[in-house]
Amino acid sequence: MAMARASSGLQYPERFYAAASYAGFDGSPRSSSKAVRSKFNSESALILYALYQQATVGPCNTPEPSAWNAVEKSKWSSWKKLADMASTEAMRLFVKILEEEDPGWYSRASNFVSDPVVDVQMNQSSNVHPVVENGNPFPETKTISTENGSIVEAQDKDVVSEGFGSIGVYDQWIAPPISGHRPKSRYEHGAAVIQDKMYIYGGNHNGRYLNDLHALDLRSWSWSKIEAKAGAESLESPSPVTVTARAGHSLISWENKLISIAGHTKDPSDSIEVKAFDLQTCTWSFLKTYGKPPASRGGQSVSLVGGGLVIFGGQDAKRTLLNDLHILDLETMTWDEIDAIGVPPSPRSDHTAAVHADRYLLIFGGGSHATCYNDLHVLDLQTMEWSRPTQQGEIPTARAGHAGVTVGENWFIVGGGDNKSGASETVVLNMSTLVWSVVTTVEGRIPVASEGLSLAVGSYNGEDVLVSFGGYNGRYNNEVNVLKPSHKSTLQSKMMETPVPDSVSAVLNATNGTRDVESEFEAGQEGKIREIVMDNVESDLMKARGKSTNEHLIATLKAEKEELESSLSKEKVQTLQLKQELAEAETRNTDLYKELQSVRGQLASEQSRCFKLEVELAELRQKLQTMEALQKELELLQRQKAASEQAALNAKRQSSGGVWGWLAGTPGNEKADDA
């Protein structure tokens, strides 16, 4: 059997260390701050630095640098924001960002990275060393042969069958015989069906964004490339338009046009861009919108509901995860940001969304930077209230990067991964009963177990078929696979296979959300879903059973309904009592607050009076000191007066001393004679 030499690429963590060495984060002679800055802008360099530290050191536990050192402070902040992200996830994101910033890094790094070479069997499942993408151990096969001088990517054959000779097989993935020029391998592209053609636009190939448009004829299964012409700035303006390459966008069919909305681009704008491709004129046009548009993003979900697009979540240009909700009215082209009540899904990207009964928006799965989810959230588009119903049946594992489409009340989910392994099972959710079941499980490395694949609903011989394209599972692919659903996972078959009490109980408990007491029992969305579910249950049971069975089931349902209504009434009474107690507590709190305010007022008054007394006391002390000084001065004056009077008296006595001295026998001129 012919053999070919194929480059397998490097495994993780070797692939990460090779990328880090190339980017300049390994301390080698090639690595320096100057070298890093020369290859990347400051924002990308900060993100790569943070991911490298997270992958090699772990969560940031170093002290925060001084504010004056702006560079070190920015590096520390970027690292700190990664929190407890796993090392393997940090490695994966590092390589992914490097591929987006420098798509040809691996080939340029090959002169200093040893790339193992392995033998690959032609047209067989390749036995190669696995490379871990998103933590998934997928083998990576780059090249197997040449046709007409061009390199052809490896094709895996782990599909149930090829061709439509066995199209009668339900619930199995089949590879139809494709003709025409296949689009380039890609993932995170947009896909939509109009009439009998599936259109593929944009995507990501080896880190490079694409802007090509292809059509697959679902009758002949033939590819053709559509050469788009430059369109107008708006549907009325003749200004030329350049179609920007993008990935992670959404493609919606509307009025014989393809609407492309959001997505990651090399030079992102501040807000979401909306473009339309006219199939008649083969031209792209920017659609002028009004109101405040959402921030630009990729990995969001976009759902067509009536004449509007409902946009949820995604990841903005700075890789911040979002969980905001916006609606674009396609008639007025006006944006409206929705502030829904209840607890919304956590910020996420690469999730899926579906619409049930033109009223309920369902959000499933998705991921953050380090975690994948398998939670289910429901938004009532009439009351704009979020709830998180309880899922039933075979609940899917956590995943992100999956794709989903609806066929009637069934929501089919395909592909995705959870940072550990790819999702090999195709699952379906009955949106009326919220019961999950597995349609089929694939084996081996085939595209329907990929991330970033697209899934669309087409028609073949009058029956619905699911059509998948592209994806990444260790390599980018451009294969088409088809599944014809049997619809056996609907409510009617479940009721026939399962005993009535269990099934009814599962249906009626399907929407018991994990919400607070007040929103749980205040005539919210859950109650409304329950009423619709009851109607659907009764309708389908009447079709599935005879008259006696119907009577028995209706009686059972009525009993269950009465029990639920009784339970709900008790909860409402309890809620009312809690509200009354809360009101009483608030009243007591108000009285205590008023009393506290009164005491505070009295205290302030006493403080003011004390202050005045202190001022008066100070004034009295000053007066007392003045009086003491005056007293001393008075005493001094009195002593001086007494001394003056004594001196005067002495002087008077001396002036009359001659007469008195003569009488006493002492002549007055005695002193003179003696002298």
Q: Which residues of 633-672 are buried (b: 16+ CB within 10 A; e: fewer)?
A: eeeeeeeeeeeeeeeeeeeeeeeeeeeeeeeeeeeeeeee
Of all residues in the chain, what percent carry a pLDDT higher than 70? 73
Q: Using H for helix, E for strand and C for coil, what is the string for 148-180?
A: CCEEECCCCCCCCEECHHHCCCCCCEEECCCEE
Please give the backbone phi and psi of residue 364, each rounded to the nearest 5 degrees, phi first: -130, 135
Quote the tokens at residue 262. Answer: 């959001």
Tell me, what's the pLDDT at 289? 95
Query: Is residue 452 very low, low, confident or very high in pLDDT (cuts 50, 70, 90)?
Result: very high
470: pLDDT strictly greater than 60: yes
Of the candidate ranges 95-109, 202-216, 446-460, 532-546, the one whose mean pLDDT is the lowest: 532-546
Query: Is residue 8 very low, low, confident or very high in pLDDT (cuts 50, 70, 90)?
Result: very low
- Side-chain-side CA neighbours of residue 175 (13 Å): 17
268: pLDDT strictly greater than 60: yes
Q: Tell me if residue 239 falls in helix, strand or coil.
A: coil
Cβ within 8 Å of residue 510, ≥6 positions away: 389, 390, 391, 392, 433, 434, 435, 533
Cβ within 8 Å of residue 22, ≥6 positions away: 98, 105, 108, 109, 113
The C-alpha atoms of residue 529 and residue 526 are separated, in whole angstroms, by 5
229: left (phi over 0), alpha (psi -120 to 50) or beta: beta
Distance, C-alpha 138 to centroid of its chain: 26
246: pLDDT strictly greater than 90: yes
The more confident residue out of 400 and 19 is 400
Place of tokens 């053609």: 197
Q: What is the mean pLDDT of residues 44-59?
A: 88
Quote the tokens at residue 661. Answer: 């001295």
CB 49 within 8 A of CB 79: yes
Please give the backbone phi and psi of residue 170, each rounded to the nearest 5 degrees, phi first: -95, 155
Query: Is residue 549 very low, low, confident or very high in pLDDT (cuts 50, 70, 90)?
Result: low
Q: What is the mean pLDDT of residues 157-176?
A: 65
Segment 105-122, tens digit of pLDDT: 776 665 444 433 333 232
Cβ within 8 Å of residue 508, ≥6 positions away: 530, 533, 534, 560, 561, 564
Angle between helix axes 525-544 and 547-655 (nearest 10 degrees) is: 170
Please give the backbone phi and psi of residue 195, each rounded to the nearest 5 degrees, phi first: 55, -120
Q: How far is CA 241 from CA 198, 204, 229, 279, 289, in A?
A: 24, 21, 9, 16, 16
The more confident residue out of 457 and 586 is 457
